[in-house]
Amino acid sequence: MNRTYRLILDCPDQVGIVTRVAEMITRHGGWISEAAHHSDVESQRFFSRFEIQADSLSFGIETLREKFAPMIEEYQMNFNLIDSCQPKKVILMASKGSHCLSDLLDRWRSNDLDCEISCVISNHTDMQGLVEWYGIPYHHVVIDKDNKAPGFAQVEALVDEYQADCIVLARYMQILPQVLCEKYRHKVINIHHSFLPSFIGAKPYHQASRRGVKLIGATCHYVTEQLDEGPIIDQDVVRVTHSDKVEDLVRLGKDVEKTVLARGLRHHLEDRILVHGNKTVVFS
Amino acid sequence: MNRTYRLILDCPDQVGIVTRVAEMITRHGGWISEAAHHSDVESQRFFSRFEIQADSLSFGIETLREKFAPMIEEYQMNFNLIDSCQPKKVILMASKGSHCLSDLLDRWRSNDLDCEISCVISNHTDMQGLVEWYGIPYHHVVIDKDNKAPGFAQVEALVDEYQADCIVLARYMQILPQVLCEKYRHKVINIHHSFLPSFIGAKPYHQASRRGVKLIGATCHYVTEQLDEGPIIDQDVVRVTHSDKVEDLVRLGKDVEKTVLARGLRHHLEDRILVHGNKTVVFS
Amino acid sequence: MNRTYRLILDCPDQVGIVTRVAEMITRHGGWISEAAHHSDVESQRFFSRFEIQADSLSFGIETLREKFAPMIEEYQMNFNLIDSCQPKKVILMASKGSHCLSDLLDRWRSNDLDCEISCVISNHTDMQGLVEWYGIPYHHVVIDKDNKAPGFAQVEALVDEYQADCIVLARYMQILPQVLCEKYRHKVINIHHSFLPSFIGAKPYHQASRRGVKLIGATCHYVTEQLDEGPIIDQDVVRVTHSDKVEDLVRLGKDVEKTVLARGLRHHLEDRILVHGNKTVVFS
Amino acid sequence: MNRTYRLILDCPDQVGIVTRVAEMITRHGGWISEAAHHSDVESQRFFSRFEIQADSLSFGIETLREKFAPMIEEYQMNFNLIDSCQPKKVILMASKGSHCLSDLLDRWRSNDLDCEISCVISNHTDMQGLVEWYGIPYHHVVIDKDNKAPGFAQVEALVDEYQADCIVLARYMQILPQVLCEKYRHKVINIHHSFLPSFIGAKPYHQASRRGVKLIGATCHYVTEQLDEGPIIDQDVVRVTHSDKVEDLVRLGKDVEKTVLARGLRHHLEDRILVHGNKTVVFS
């Protein structure tokens, strides 16, 4: 694979940022193979992403980071420099519904998701054999509905043990405790089975059926303390008709859920998403 | 044009309804060129639509209606028999925004909407010349925001005078008084500029921008007393990104609004929509 | 599951067919839970599909078939009566690319595809373990590119042994010999990785990239002797841009391929597809 | 309106182009409000577009152009610098079908297309009154099918007289002579009523109906000497079924045609399209 360094930054907007950053890269022979920028007019904030060919530089990522240090301070940047050859460590969390999990595993095996899958955590054992066929550890962690703390403590221990960069709730069906939401801020990706902000909360397909909508959707978002209110990464919809019963909506919705989740995760793995407030900038 | 009789009915579900109806039509030589049925499991209600070639019958629509009278009573049917050669009389209501109005007028002139457009009613005069070029009467009816009753009385008088079968709120921007909603129940079609039930109420594109959604939509629905809560006829969406400002959402939304409104109206004109409760059956 | 009999027919169009068929069903107490009809004006042919609640009849499917015998002759019907509780036997054929295979297996396990999967046949062994985890026999049948006949003889033997009702080419990458296309007419479903009739033949994503199209697609169709020319069951597309290289098209295309193939197969399994000439009627 | 200078360039790819261009802009205080880049790996060509706030520079566009002169030569750039406050002069050409024409006129009047519409040229007079209501000159230029040269000479004279920057074939239904295609290279935008390269040539909806496709589309492209083979700007599709006759395809296709044409034209007017060979880079 082509090794690149991904430079992601945001800072208060002003003249000359792109030039200063680009000049710094080019001065050292760096080849910029991709670049995207966004100025948010309302917040007067600037967002940018550069992809630099690693082998065009005569030094490594640490040296590059040091060279940017003064600029980061001067412009008050949130600054991130990532080596594309260090795949992110991802933990998948799933329940009984297998469509998202199975879909992500096949994409990963087919090299369409550039990451390491550290393990799968589930409160059920149904998919253990399949996950292990992929060579991925499977942890059965029961969340007792009357006492959830021990289960989630185990989840937290696993996340920390694996030093996971990203947790994917692949139709996990459990609400993550607030403390974990905060601890893994902008690292937990959820797929919600409605076109948010429609049908927040439980049983969205039932709600959709009652309201008689003609399209149903799914929303991939970062998990925050506010349930179903986190920054939206991606969404999509599929057409339904009066003849589709709730179980048809559930089935049709699965296709949207797995596609949108995979797309959102891919953007995350490629460091294409910047969050500001409750919104995302996605440089796709 | 090919003349057909459209038979639309709904009633409590039971065995044999399709057969009884079809048998009645066929017994008199009627050629069924289209037929669609739907059983709503929850409400145990049956919905059906037949299209019959008019010239395959040896008698007219009135006689056909009489022949069905006993069956209507027996099955407790809501029953409607419509002559496709009697185009519906439609009143378009618009404000300053011209995209829906202009779109509907061109479709009508191109014979893609089978109706009579009785007149256009607007609280502005901007589009008067264009409407008149199409040979359609234009009524400028001011709705005084401090005293709306006289304006709406004038609207009501016009609707009654033209004996309109259908009123289209083509981005009319005014809330119809409750009394008119009730009087013209299931005859007033509105286009709401959001993917309902998301962003009910005012300035949906501003709401969408604040929430950071990745798709925006529009919803065509029958107007009821509950604002933006009426039975949904059709919906669609378009993709947006972080770089789209509110004014871009407004512009992109227009394409969805006009397409969805035209599609919904067309279904209405072809008697393809049956309403039950707050939902629609659309035999498209 | 709700047991139904599916009655599928086509015949020269004339007045009264729906009534005659419906009357026959109703006379014996049959409850029609779904019905759809289509008159093809050009060929003057009539197509129809009824779904009848099995337990509303006092006799079985064989007796029902007998009762229709005179009508079949009178109207010169192609007539099919299928018991929904006799799941079709499906053979999946795959190559190295796993996205369609893996997707179909998960749908099947999740009860979203109502069939038996008799076995998987592949010219590679990569997916053997996964297939067997699902409890499905795996046959590794090598197609020698210099002498294909023995391999395909083995395929034919397996199809016959399993008495398969349907063969799905889930990105099988081999052209079926003409004799098998004829033998299993309208039983072999292929997914072609282009929006047919664009980019017929080899390497459609390379062709698409060269032409600079802004959408790529996939086509699910019945296999006939004319490569990529069989009756189309379903199609869909996804948006691409100038920045998508061939390998991106391949990746983006996979999502469309697997969704369209699954949708097409589902229609086939539910007996919703009637073929006439090189076109399909899909009662969805 | 916010005045910007749009800088569009392409040249052989090498390290440092973005930096050099950005540095030149920033050195003079230029505020870059938008920037996009694309490296075509195959042709090793680099494409870029910058949008610069005009009032952030202390001098005008001519001076800016001069400052870039040495760089243009050094990098062998195709270079274009455009003032967003100089709206392009557009000529619309139409036939009897009014949907695209009427749609573009309404968009233009609603300020959703930033251009001057110099005139409408048509071989029919049907829409003259409507066009004139918009305050736009209408020229009725007959193309005699047995002697097309005089008509097209008149068209050419009008294009030259109005100094048009862009000609839009809004379902014009005539093939432009080769000499005009060459003279107005990359300035003539056509809407083709099929999803190219499917159904090249005449009566694409008839072809689509015969092939039994499940989606129909439209393609907006620059006109070249090779009919229907020019660089594609945008495409879209709409779903159809077996019950849609050719006239339904025509009607459904209109919605796609007008939307895709408007979108493509908008990209052109905003100088977002760069052509290389038979493909486009669209910085949307």
pLDDT of residue B227: 80
Q: Which residues of C are catalytic?
A: 228
**D98: nearest CB among B110, B255, B262:** B110
Distance CA C282, CA D5 (A): 53
Give every CB contact of residue B221 below 8 A, 6+ residues apart in sequence: B189, B190, B192, B196, B228, B230, B231, B232, B233, B264
D191 in C contact zone (CB under 8 Å): no
Q: How confident is the model at residue C33 (pLDDT cuts 50, 70, 90)?
A: confident
Single-letter code of the amino acid located at C130: L
Three-state DSSP state, C274: strand
pLDDT over 90 (residue C1): no
* Three-class secondary structure assignment of chain B: CCCEEEEEEEEECCCCHHHHHHHHHHHCCCEEEEEEEEEECCCCEEEEEEEEEHHHCCCCHHHHHHHHHHHHHHHCCEEEEEECCCCEEEEEEECCCCHHHHHHHHHHHCCCCCEEEEEEEECCCCCHHHHHHCCCCEEECCCECCECHHHHHHHHHHHHHHCCCEEEECCCCCCCCHHHHHHCCCCEEEEECCCCCCCCCCCHHHHHHHHCCCEEEEEEEECCCCCCCCCEEEEEEEECCCCCCHHHHHHHHHHHHHHHHHHHHHHHHCCCEEEECCEEEECC
Token readout for B123 is 């609280």
Is B35 close to C18, i.e. CB distance below 8 A? yes
D259 in C contact zone (CB under 8 Å): no
Is A33 close to D15, i.e. CB distance below 8 A? no
Q: How confident is the model at residue A2 (pLDDT cuts 50, 70, 90)?
A: confident
User: Which is it for strands B273-276 and B279-282: parallel, antiparallel or unpaired?
Assistant: antiparallel
Mean pLDDT for the stretch of residues A67-91: 97
Is A251 close to C130, i.e. CB distance below 8 A? no
Cα three-residue angle A175-A176-A181, rounded to 5 degrees = 135
Residues 93-112 of C with CB under 8 A from A: 97-99, 102-103, 105-107, 109-110, 112
Distance CA C53, CA C72 (A): 21
Mean pLDDT for the stretch of residues C141-149: 96
pLDDT of residue D226: 86
Q: Which chains touch C (3 or more CB pairs under 8 A)?
A: A, B, D
C259 in A contact zone (CB under 8 Å): yes
The count of C-alpha atoms lying within 13 angstroms of the C-alpha of B211, restricted to the half-sphere facing its C-beta, is 25
User: Is A91:A120 a contact under the CB 8 Å cutoff?
Assistant: yes
Cβ-based neighbour number of residue D177 at 10 Å: 17
Distance CA B158, CA B119 (A): 9
Cβ-based neighbour number of residue D184 at 10 Å: 19
**D26: nearest CB among A19, A29, A36:** A19
User: Is C219:C232 a contact under the CB 8 Å cutoff?
Assistant: yes
In chain B, what is the greatest distance between 2 CA atoms, to the nearest angstrom? Answer: 63
Active-site residue among B228, B234, B244, B271? B228
Least Cα separation, residue C133 to chain A (angstroms): 7
Distance CA C201, CA B30 (A): 48
**C280: nearest CB among D197, D212, D280:** D212
Least Cα separation, residue D33 to chain A (angstroms): 7
Distance CA C144, CA C142 (A): 6
Token readout for D115 is 């251009």
Least Cα separation, residue B158 to chain C (angstroms): 41
- Partners of D230 on chain C (C-beta within 8 Å) are none
Q: How confident is the model at residue A1 (pLDDT cuts 50, 70, 90)?
A: low
Distance CA C60, CA C64 (A): 6
Give pLDDT tens digits for B107-160.
999 999 999 999 999 999 999 999 999 999 999 999 999 999 999 999 999 999
Is C98 close to A112, i.e. CB distance below 8 A? no
Give every CB contact of residue A79 below 8 A, 6+ residues apart in sequence: A7, A8, A9, A68, A72
Is D279 close to C215, i.e. CB distance below 8 A? no
Three-state DSSP state, A91: strand
pLDDT of residue B62: 96
Q: Which domains, ranges and CATH numbers included, belong to chain D? A: 4-83 (3.30.70.260), 88-282 (3.40.50.170)
B91 beta partners: B119, B167
- Partners of D103 on chain B (C-beta within 8 Å) are 102-103, 106
pLDDT over 70 (residue B220): yes
**C19: nearest CB among B23, B34, B36:** B23
More confident residue, A269 or C16: A269
- Most confidently modeled range among B179-183, C15-19, C127-131: C127-131
Identify the residue among B100, B238, B255, B284 best suited for mutation to test binding to D, counting D beta carbons within 10 A and taking the highest. B255
Distance CA C168, CA C265 (A): 8
Is D98 close to B112, i.e. CB distance below 8 A? no
pLDDT, mean over chain B: 95
pLDDT over 90 (residue D73): yes
Identify the residue among B33, B130, B265 best suited for mutation to test binding to D, counting D beta carbons within 10 A and taking the highest. B130
Q: How confident is the model at residue A41 (pLDDT cuts 50, 70, 90)?
A: confident
For residue B52, the chain C residue with the least C-alpha distance is C15
Name the percent of chain C in helix, strand, coil, to the closest 5: 35, 30, 35
Mean pLDDT for the stretch of residues B87-102: 97
Give pLDDT tens digits for D7-36.
999 999 998 899 999 999 999 999 998 899
Burial of B76 (0-12, 13-18, 19+ CB in 10 A): exposed
Residue (of A157, A118, A129, A160) closest to A141 by Cα position: A157
B19 in C contact zone (CB under 8 Å): yes
Least Cα separation, residue C139 to chain B (angstroms): 43
ipTM: 0.95
* Residue A236 known to be catalytic: no
Distance CA B218, CA B237 (A): 7
pLDDT over 80 (residue C8): yes
- Partners of D243 on chain C (C-beta within 8 Å) are 38
**D99: nearest CB among B99, B110, B129:** B110
Is A35 close to D30, i.e. CB distance below 8 A? no
Active-site residue among A10, A103, A165, A228? A228
Give pLDDT tens digits for B12-41.
999 889 999 999 999 999 999 889 999 998
Give pLDDT tens digits for D209-268.
999 999 999 999 999 988 888 999 999 999 999 999 999 999 999 999 999 999 999 999
Give pLDDT tens digits for B224-243.
988 888 999 999 999 999 99
Cα three-residue angle A118-A123-A128, rounded to 5 degrees = 55
pLDDT over 80 (residue B1): no
In chain A, what is the greatest distance between 2 CA atoms, to the nearest angstrom? Answer: 63
Least Cα separation, residue B29 to chain C (angstroms): 7
Is B242 close to A278, i.e. CB distance below 8 A? no
Is B129 close to D133, i.e. CB distance below 8 A? yes
pLDDT over 70 (residue D1): no
- Partners of B102 on chain D (C-beta within 8 Å) are 102-103, 105-106
Distance CA B65, CA D127 (A): 43
User: Is D178:D225 a contact under the CB 8 Å cutoff?
Assistant: yes
Mean pLDDT for the stretch of residues D138-163: 97
Cβ-based neighbour number of residue B268 at 10 Å: 24
Least Cα separation, residue A17 to chain D (angstroms): 9
Give pLDDT tens digits for C150-199.
999 999 999 999 999 999 999 999 999 999 999 999 999 999 999 999 99
The count of C-alpha atoms lying within 13 angstroms of the C-alpha of A119, restricted to the half-sphere facing its C-beta, is 16
**B245: nearest CB among A41, A232, A279:** A41
Give pLDDT tens digits for A133-167.
999 999 999 999 999 999 999 999 999 999 999 99
Least Cα separation, residue C281 to chain D (angstroms): 5
Cβ-based neighbour number of residue A85 at 10 Å: 13
pLDDT over 90 (residue B77): yes
The count of C-alpha atoms lying within 13 angstroms of the C-alpha of D28, restricted to the half-sphere facing its C-beta, is 21
pLDDT, mean over chain D: 95
A26 in D contact zone (CB under 8 Å): yes
- Interface size B-C, in CB pairs within 8 Å, comes to 49
- Partners of D15 on chain A (C-beta within 8 Å) are 26, 29-31, 56
Least Cα separation, residue A266 to chain C (angstroms): 12
pLDDT of residue B277: 92
Give every CB contact of residue A74 below 8 A, 6+ residues apart in sequence: none
